Amino acid sequence: MLIDFGDGFVLRHAEPSDHAALRNVCLKTGDSGKDATAREDDPNLLGEIYAVPYRVYAPDFAFVVDSPEGVAGYILGAPDTPAIYARMRDEWFPRLAAKLRDPGPDESRWQRSDWARYALHHPDFVYPEVLHEYPAHGHIDLLEVARGRQIGSRGMRYMLDRLAETGAKGMHLQVSPRNFGALKFYGTLGFSLLSHESLPRHTAFMVRRF
């Protein structure tokens, strides 16, 4: 246990046995913080893209929030964005893509989880020069039962401290522009919105120096 949040909620390092829980939390929060189950036809792909590889490739910065009902969230980080992206592109994504059909580039023909299948076949990791001042990045998702308890803020501050100890100069986060709660939350932690022509417009980028 790393942090005791009270009422049976604790922060601990994620283990290989948590992969199913990581996938579940990612799915249950995958629609801008809301449940994406009805949107996806493959319940595992969100977690296989955005959660499990961080436990595999950056285990020192992969944490889960345990609750009396089981894993209720995760906080994941990587101090070296280009390094983890390279391993995901060269190792993780090809292994998954080999088992899935490529739906092709015509988005008008995509259904349900086709966007994720396409992303695995054609990975596009965003790390232009404007983000190089913020080489760490991460993800946090909490189920409803874990919200409103300061778990997110305390857990993220713990993650920020651990990442800063590696010597990384700063951290960036990708956030859905529709997730207003997340944007406000990151602002309270000292993150600010970064705008630049090299960044895709469909995603908001929040940055913070250490």
Burial class (CB in 10 A: 0-12, 13-18, 19+), 124: exposed
**Confidence bin at 1 (pLDDT 50/70/90):** confident
- The CATH fold of domain 3-168: Aminopeptidase (3.40.630)
- Residue 179, pLDDT > 90, answer no
Q: What is the pLDDT of residue 181?
A: 86
**Mean pLDDT of all residues in the chain?**
95
For residue 39, what are its two tokens?
Answer: 């949107």
pLDDT > 90 fraction of the chain, expressed in percent and rounded: 90
Instruction: Tell me the pLDDT tens digit for each residue of 52-106.
Output: 999 999 999 999 999 999 999 999 999 999 999 999 999 999 999 999 999 999 9
- Residue 153, pLDDT > 90, answer yes
Q: What is the pLDDT of residue 77?
A: 97
Neighbours of 136 (CB within 10 A): 27
Q: Where are the domains of the chain?
A: 3-168
What contacts 171, CB < 8 A, 6 or more positions away? 77, 134, 136, 137, 138, 160, 163, 191, 207, 208, 210
